[in-house]
Structure 1
Amino acid sequence: MEPLCNASEPPLRPEARSSGNGDLQFLGWNVPPDQIQYIPEHWLTQLEPPASMHYMLGVFYIFLFCASTVGNGMVIWIFSTSKSLRTPSNMFVLNLAVFDLIMCLKAPIFIYNSFHRGFALGNTWCQIFASIGSYSGIGAGMTNAAIGYDRYNVITKPMNRNMTFTKAVIMNIIIWLYCTPWVVLPLTQFWDRFVPEGYLTSCSFDYLSDNFDTRLFVGTIFFFSFVCPTLMILYYYSQIVGHVFSHEKALREQAKKMNVESLRSNVDKSKETAEIRIAKAAITICFLFFVSWTPYGVMSLIGAFGDKSLLTPGATMIPACTCKLVACIDPFVYAISHPRYRLELQKRCPWLGVNEKSGEISSAQSTTTQEQQQTTAA
């Protein structure tokens, strides 16, 4: 790997080790000579944070790792083994849980680095950490867009459900292929590179180098991995909300003309309630994606195009934490909002006290059976 600093300079530069008064240290003070060359110059000019900050983040990531592993593990287990949940639409939910689980798999690297206060595992594990983060982050965003597309079709075009298992699998494969260039290009240094960031305990693509290639890469990956899925999510869910409001308005007006309270049967009400609850869960997860990844996107844009002095180690660790937090929260959103998942969770883990009523989603279960029969041939 090409060094980030001049190889002719001594790797153990005094200015990268202490402030001169012996009391303060700069980031990189404990990095081996053969590894410090991979750290961007920007971080080597920043003061080392208190050891307690490293340890607090390490403990926080232990919590995230445990919660995400258990939560996403249960989602994968239940959605992949439950017959009632084995539908084309839920293939996207399963794919999202896989990406979220992959996201948490890099936590042990961060935890080890945190308790060793820096770039302890070196460049090789830094590349692994960043590769996992790129795959899982971009993949989760595109999967959220796919979920939005599916919910859009189910709710706004209920008589034209053309989602099959084959189509769902192909869409998931396309999502994985879509993520691949954004991992391979910086990993091979063909375009940009993966480097340490913040407290030097995490790694990401280089958004600090002051050159055209870096700025072009940051702008491109920001557009294709954040702006594109966000625009798709906003479009699909705005259409869903608009459809629901216009549909409800039409039903109320028709009921008023017929002098009846409602035109819905109990079966229709139960079916729509289940579908709306699923849509609410999807909207919540997409909102979490937007909230958690926006700070990181803004931070990378500041690094590439703005005032780099704003990017202190502590400030950059906040976006790094928020984008990991969403992988932990996603499965619990489904545990709260997804009726079929809650029912299955209640059956398999009664000690959780989920208390989901099966009658409320009986019509949805019937619809699921019909979908399975229609898509088996596919």
Structure 2
Amino acid sequence: RAGLSRNGHTIVAVFLGFILFFGFLNNLIVLILFCKFKTLRNPVNMLLLNISISDMLVCISGTTLSFASNIHGKWIGGEHGCRWYGFVNSCFGIVSLISLAVLSYERYSTLTLCNKRSADYRKALLAVGGSWIYSLVWTVPPLIGWSSYGIEGAGTSCSVRWSSESAESTSYIICLFIFCLVIPVMVMMYCYGRLLYAVKQVGKIHKNTARKREYHVLFMVITTVICYLVCWIPYGVIALLATFGKPGVVTPVASIIPSILAKSSTVCNPIIYILMNKQVRYVILKL
């Protein structure tokens, strides 16, 4: 199968360089703000910080290798580097998605309770730890024999071997899609569907300042979820086509565009936090 041309790799390297620089910088700013200002340390922001940390780690450990490989026009990490790249990108991506699913439930439970709840940091920490454990449960198996990680697309990045025809590899991919994409997305759709319906029902009723603030956070989180899904769903579709479609149906160009789009989520997420989070904007003005 023909790969990208020299110019094609150069164009991809430019996009990845942009994502690497701004993805790392934006998420580093979020991390510094969180460490510097105690007012930002609430349960919702802890989950958002978890996403920022996973995004920053993707930039450091994944995007850098793909960027360098496109400059050289081929994968430069070797077999072990490929397995590492596939593992960390899958792991950090699932951490972000599970964190968003937990956030959707947190917003749902907060806004559907009549009485004001105190901030529950213990549950937030458990959710953060749980997102990493859950992700490891589904990303370690290819390292020990249930499916595997290998070179994908234009030959400058790695992921799960979507095109493998073995029964065990197919079973892993099916489980991965069900438990790490379908179920989390269904949880988010259910929670936000119910919440938006509730917001519409009480739209004409007077809401106090605290409640308005909760609704503002809700729409910030919904925007983050929509952005994440827009970035990742095309990659998921391409992966499904590579797994269950005809051999060769996914060309290098067709696979590289969704891959770049997925990586761009590391740039978008912190911008959303800064633009839509009043607390973050306030502390930035104090700097």
Query: Does TM-score exceed 0.5, indicating one fold?
Result: yes
Taking the TM superposition and a 5 Å limit, the aligned residue runs for 1:289-304 are 289-304=228-243
2:97 counterpart (125, 130, 141): 141
Which one-letter code corresponds to 2:77 in the other structure?
L
Separation in 2, partners of 1:65, 1:274: 33
What's the CA shift for 1:278? Answer: 1.7
Alignment correspondent of 2:139: 183
Does the CA-based 8 Å contact 2:108-2:191 persist in structure 1? yes
What's the CA shift for 1:162? Answer: 6.0
Q: Percent identity?
A: 26
Alignment correspondent of 1:286: 225
> SS of 1:327's equivalent?
helix
Separation in 1, partners of 2:258, 2:44: 31
Q: Deviations over 1:127-169 (max 9, x none)?
A: 1211110111111100001111111122222515265111111
Q: Deviations over 1:191-212 (max 9, x none)?
A: 0000000111100001111121
Separation in 2, partners of 1:160, 1:145: 22
Separation in 2, partners of 1:156, 1:80: 31
Per the alignment, do residues 48 and 302 of structure 1 end up closer, same or farther by CA in structure 2, a change over 3 Å counting? closer
Separation in 2, partners of 1:158, 1:327: 35
Separation in 1, partners of 2:3, 2:260: 19
Alignment correspondent of 2:177: 222
Runs of 4+ in 1 over 3 A off after TM superposition: 270-273
Q: Deviations over 1:62-88 (max 9, x none)?
A: 110111111111111112331211112
Q: Give yes or no for the alignment of 1:198 onto 2:162.
A: no
Separation in 1, partners of 2:214, 2:284: 18
Does the CA-based 8 Å contact 1:219-1:301 persist in structure 2? no
1:318 counterpart (254, 257, 272): 257
Does the CA-based 8 Å contact 1:292-1:326 persist in structure 2? yes
Taking the TM superposition and a 5 Å limit, the aligned residue runs for 1:74-223 are 74-105=29-60, 106-157=62-113, 159-161=115-117, 163-188=119-144, 190-223=145-178
What's the CA shift for 1:104? Answer: 1.3
> SS of 2:151's equivalent?
strand
Which one-letter code corresponds to 2:163 in the other structure?
L
Does the CA-based 8 Å contact 2:66-2:75 persist in structure 1? no
Separation in 2, partners of 1:161, 1:203: 44
Which one-letter code corresponds to 1:88 in the other structure?
P
What's the CA shift for 1:109? Answer: 0.3
Taking the TM superposition and a 5 Å limit, the aligned residue runs for 1:262-273 are 263=206, 268=208, 270-273=209-212
Segments of 5+ residues of structure 1 without an aligned counterpart are 1-45, 252-262, 349-378
What's the CA shift for 1:305? Answer: 1.4
Separation in 1, partners of 2:92, 2:10: 25
Q: Deviations over 1:317-354 (max 9, x none)?
A: 11111110111100001111111111112212xxxxxx
Q: Deviations over 1:173-218 (max 9, x none)?
A: 1111000122211122x20000000111100001111121121111
Segments of 5+ residues of structure 2 without an aligned counterpart are none
2:10 counterpart (36, 40, 55): 55
Separation in 1, partners of 2:132, 2:32: 21
> SS of 1:240's equivalent?
helix
The total of aligned residue pairs comes to 286
Separation in 2, partners of 1:119, 1:132: 16
Which one-letter code corresponds to 1:229 in the other structure?
P
Alignment correspondent of 1:277: 216
Q: Deviations over 1:104-123 (max 9, x none)?
A: 12111011110110122211
Alignment correspondent of 1:336: 275
Does the CA-based 8 Å contact 2:15-2:260 persist in structure 1? no
Structure number with higher relative contact order (C-alpha < 8 Å, ≥ 6 residues apart): 2
Which one-letter code corresponds to 2:134 in the other structure?
Y
Per the alignment, do residues 158 and 60 of structure 1 end up closer, same or farther by CA in structure 2, a change over 3 Å counting? farther
Separation in 1, partners of 2:197, 2:247: 42
> SS of 2:248's equivalent?
helix
CA RMSD, Structure 1 to Structure 2 (Å): 1.5
Per the alignment, do residues 310 and 163 of structure 1 end up closer, same or farther by CA in structure 2, a change over 3 Å counting? farther
Does the CA-based 8 Å contact 1:55-1:115 persist in structure 2? yes
